[in-house]
Amino acid sequence: MSKNPDIATPMARVRGLGAARSGTGHFWLSRVTAVANVPLTIAFVIIVLLLAKADYAGAIKIVGHPVAAILLLLFVGSAATHMRLGMQVIIEDYVHSEGTKLVLLMLNTFFAITVGLASAYAILKIGFAG
């Protein structure tokens, strides 16, 4: 498919999904995770308030409870996805050097995945092994 907009057919332009090559995917996923984040954030704050004055055994019991563990896993997954999309927009807005932008976008992805997976691993370990 030609990258020249002057000779591209309307169909080719549609298939090309615009300059970002991803169409509305970014926008939509950002909204879907934002919607999910509203109830999950409220659940997260409630769980944190329950944890606030708990000792070690109490904290293990709270995080290890299936309902809390599942809510925390959902929150971490949705939040990590949402924050990766949001930080991507910030980077694209302010970093104009192509090389630096590429590096920062990669670090952004690495950070979000690390945060998400490390949290998920810890929650699962607490749930399964105590």
Partner 1 sequence: MARTGPAERPLSPHLQIYKPSITMVTSILHRITGAALFFGTLLLVIFLVALASGKTSFATVQAIYGSFLGKLVLFGYTWALFMHMCGGLRHFIWDTGAGLERETRLKLGWATLIGSLALTALAWVVYFLR
Judged by CB under 8 A, which stretch of 2-10, 15-23, 74-82, 99-107 contacts partner 1?
74-82
Judged by CB under 8 A, which stretch of 5-13, 14-22, 98-106, 121-129 contacts partner 1?
121-129
Taking every pair of Cα atoms in the chain, the longest distance, rounded to a whole number of angstroms, is 68
Q: Are 62 and 47 in contact (CB under 8 A)?
A: yes
Between 70 and 90, CB nearer to partner 1? 90
Distance between CA atoms of residues 126 and 130, nearest Å: 4
Nearest Cα residue to 27 out of 18, 40, 15, 16: 18
Q: Which two tokens stand for residue 110?
A: 């690495």
Q: Catalog residues that contact partner 1 under the rule CB under 8 A.
A: 31, 34-35, 37-38, 41, 45, 49, 52-53, 56, 59-60, 63, 72, 76, 79-80, 83, 86-87, 90, 111, 115, 118-119, 121-123, 125-126
